Amino acid sequence: MIYVIGFLAQVFFSARILLQWILSERAKRVISPTIFWQLSILGSYLLFLYGWMRHDFAIILGQLISYYIYIWNLDKKQHWRQLPLVLRVIFLATPLVAIGYVLKDIPAFVDKFFFNDKIPLWLLIYGSLGQIIFTLRFVYQWIYSKRKDESLLPVGFWIISLVGSLIIVSYAIYRLDPVLILGQSTGILAYSRNIYLCRKAKA
């Protein structure tokens, strides 16, 4: 069941990249379609649950950083407020409830997520570094888009994506995590192609 949730999350993530890539190829430039952000929030929600059930702090951290940026982009696309109120409340509240649960018993959380026999501390740090780099692309995207006052996917976003993805794939191979291997490997080609499209448009 845990792997089903993880693979479903990666299906959403892979679909968002594939659709964004196809739409960008048609437009002959890199675009930021609404469907990209819709699939992002769905995938992030499920991957957060997957990370929690796998006791994998690296995954949880990565989703927490970017989660609300997805919501900001949906709002910028004027789609967030079109979602049913119940759905918006669930999306907004779940990470906050999880944080509240952690704060209730921090020693237990630290013991379960940081001293997990299945994940050596050095590997956890390495995986978390990959997730942080990978997720910072959305912080960069958010800052860039705020300045331009529209939802955009600049070349820096794709460069950070490529670097972070390569680190996460190597982490996933060591952990023998098929969910992360599949999810990250499918994006590498799309990230490279978007970098090429951005450079070509700039030239």
| C-beta of residue 85 within 8 angstroms of C-beta of residue 157 | no
Query: pLDDT tens digits for 18-30?
Result: 899 899 889 888 8
| pTM of the predicted model over 0.85 | no
Query: pLDDT tens digits for 124-164?
Result: 788 888 878 888 898 999 999 999 998 999 999 999 999 98
Residue 63 or residue 161, greater confidence: 161
Q: Domain range spanning residue 65?
A: 2-202
Give CA–CA dist 137/91, Å, rounded.
Answer: 21
Q: How confident is the model at residue 36 (pLDDT cuts 50, 70, 90)?
A: very high
Domain count of the chain? Answer: 1
What is the mean predicted confidence (pLDDT) over 71-95?
A: 91
User: Which DSSP string corresponds to 2-28?
Assistant: HHHHHHHHHHHHHHHHHHHHHHHHHHT
